[in-house]
Amino acid sequence: MKKDRWLLRAVVLLALSAALMTGVSFAAEAGSGADPLVTLSYLNDTFFNSVMQRVDQRIAERTGQALPGASSASFVVVTLNDGQTLTGGVGCEVMLRVGSAVCVAPSDPGLIDETTAATLANGASLAQNHLYMMTIEGRGVRATGGTTKVLARGTYTVS
């Protein structure tokens, strides 16, 4: 008698579990809005970037500092029109890719040419495909003809 009761409970539990599983699988079809699929590329490309931007904003709010222009851990393309100046923070690197530009610096040294290990004075022209670094605040590059494109890495402002 006890054996029959245990067997009956097991069969009812098994049937109930199967019915619930079937209902759940019909209710949430894989890949639908009810069961979204999150990919690694979404996490890396979209979610992580938005979280890092929020963190930067919170840090700036707590320290009472405004975010200085733009900042990039990797190179980004910056387009400058004739007369516009990109002013970099200490450690900012730029590479002239298209157009022409000159060094802007109130004193020497202006920019450090990492390609040749030389310095560039105020008003001197940048060479295309050379990597330059700002080692003192207030240094930058000014576009001198048409549209100029530079690769920039670090903190900078465009004016």
Tens of pLDDT, residues 91-110: 999 999 999 999 999 998 89
Selection from 90, 88, 121 nearest residue 107 by Cα: 121
Least confident span in 27-36, 40-49, 67-76, 139-148: 27-36
The percentage of residues in the chain with a pLDDT greater than 70, rounded to a whole number, is: 69
Q: How far apart are CA 46 and CA 87, in angstroms?
A: 29
pLDDT at residue 136, rounded to an integer:
92
Torsion of CA 119, 125, 129, 134, to 10 degrees: 40
Res. 62: pLDDT tops 60 = yes
Q: Are 68 and 137 in contact (CB under 8 A)?
A: no
Q: What's the whole-number mean pLDDT along residues 74-88?
A: 92
**What is the chain's mean pLDDT, rounded?**
80
**Per-residue pLDDT, 67:** 47
Q: What is the helix (H) or strand (E) element at residue 72, kind and residue range?
A: strand 70-80
Q: Cβ contacts of residue 30 below 8 Å, gap of 6+?
A: 37
